Amino acid sequence: MAIDWWTNDANPNGIEFLFNTNKSTNNQTLLRSSGSNDYWDLRVIPSGSSNTKGKIEFRLNYKKNVSSAIGTNHISMSTAYIDNIMGGNIFNIMVQRHVVTASNALGDCDFSQSYHMFVARKDDDKIKDVNFISMSSHDSTTGKLNSTGSFSNQNFITSSAMTSKNLFVGETLTGSIAEVRAWSNYVSMSKFKQHVINYQSIVGNKISSSVAELIYRYKLVRELLIGIQHLIQHH
């Protein structure tokens, strides 16, 4: 599945979704913003040889025009290793900028930005495995022409040369994804937790958020249920 990211008037500040995955010892890509090299990605990384324990890692390319591969040219943040993140549990994830800007012009990206990642899952009426992770892009430095905080910030909100469908969803995931939402404004942790308790909830920080700030929403509930059924059948 591929969706619009900073193209076709879809200019999100952040993105959230639900996912579950089969047991695996391989890295799995949840989101990937594509260009000549990758702008940013979000992955499930297993712990050693474990096929159930892993962490969520967000990487952001800091090179101007993503001139080099993300693997060795990125800033990153990740959760701690989470038990049973692979193998059937449904997790909610949100990645977003703390400071909302409406432009990806380099001049409007020239500051130290903070990026937040929320991760949690529902267990009956409780919320488990709650993670609130943050990182900051480094300040722009005069003379560093190809790798500054400004380029990091710009790379998060750039659409690449592709005119549409430039954000790849669940590309190497062995499970399923549902309730993909792009938000134009920041969503607080308290509202995110409401989404965890109620998968259908689209409340935001304001009364009008579900209308004015929700750019798009792909439910994909059928796909997630099929994935869960597949897991049950193979246990």
Overall pTM surpassing 0.95 (yes/no): no
pLDDT tens series, the chain, 235 aa:
899 999 999 999 999 999 999 999 999 999 999 888 999 999 999 999 899 999 999 999 999 889 999 999 999 999 999 999 998 899 999 999 999 999 988 888 988 999 999 999 999 999 999 999 999 997 665 445 566 788 999 999 988 777 788 999 999 999 999 999 999 999 999 999 999 999 999 999 999 999 999 999 999 865 555 444 444 444 4
CATH 1.20.1740 applies to domain 2-233: no
Distance CA 3, CA 84 (A): 28
Q: Which residue has the tokens 């380029």?
A: 151
Q: What are 166's two structure tokens?
A: 């430039």
Q: Cβ contacts of residue 26 below 8 Å, gap of 6+?
A: 46, 172, 174
Q: What are 174's two structure tokens?
A: 């062995």
Which H or E element spans position 187? none
